[in-house]
Amino acid sequence: MGDNAHHLAPMLSAIDRIKTDLMDYHPKALLLFGSLARYLADDSVDHIPNDVDLLVITNNTPFVVMNSDYGCAIEFHRFTIDRTVGIAKSLRYDSRPVALSKLYSRVLAKQHAIDVIAAAMMLGSAYGDFGIEQIEISGITDTRDYSIHRVLMGGGWWGRLCRYAAERRGPLMRFTDKMVRNYDFEG
């Protein structure tokens, strides 16, 4: 970090405070992604991170936390547990074209690629093998690795979900998995 420590200190402090403040909401997971996660992973970044991108997975909307001033720019994304598990099920069971159309249709509807980024984080660096393509920004392909993230809370649950999502079963196995009651994610 060196020279950038002064710039990043408020962001790292904010993350610690957010983790403490979120405890009352019982999140399944809290994930750091984006430029700060890539920077902390020593992935090449073209600029010093200027915000903190967080994905919190909880059924309890943390309004107080999401609306608090932590002294730096925070971009919160909240997924319900069902929404997150739904993405994992789609990656596991839907045909690739169906899963990809679900992910990318949400990009158009929400004007944000958070569902695609969440899927990339679940699948890890091999998300391109699934067919997830890099996102374009102003017509230029974004070459950043969207699978890079840091689990801040709920590492066990998130790890199990990622393994579940990455184990491709396909549409035909969905039926047999339902028959033997092996379809649902047991987090």
d(CA 145, CA 120): 9
Count the domains in the chain. 1
In a domain, 187, yes or no: no
Residue 169 near residue 177, CB atoms below 8 Å: yes
In a domain, 20, yes or no: yes
Which pTM was predicted?
0.89
pLDDT recorded at residue 1? 45
pLDDT recorded at residue 3? 63
Averages of pLDDT over each 10 residues, the chain, 187 residues: 74 96 95 94 80 96 93 95 96 95 82 90 93 74 84 97 95 88 84
pLDDT recorded at residue 187? 74
In a domain, 84, yes or no: yes
In a domain, 76, yes or no: yes
The amino acid present at 13, given as its one-letter code, is S
pLDDT recorded at residue 2? 53
In a domain, 135, yes or no: yes
In a domain, 9, yes or no: yes
Residue ranges making up the domain that contains 63:
2-179
- Give the residue carrying structure tokens 């902390």: 40
Residue 20 near residue 152, CB atoms below 8 Å: no
In a domain, 184, yes or no: no
In a domain, 185, yes or no: no
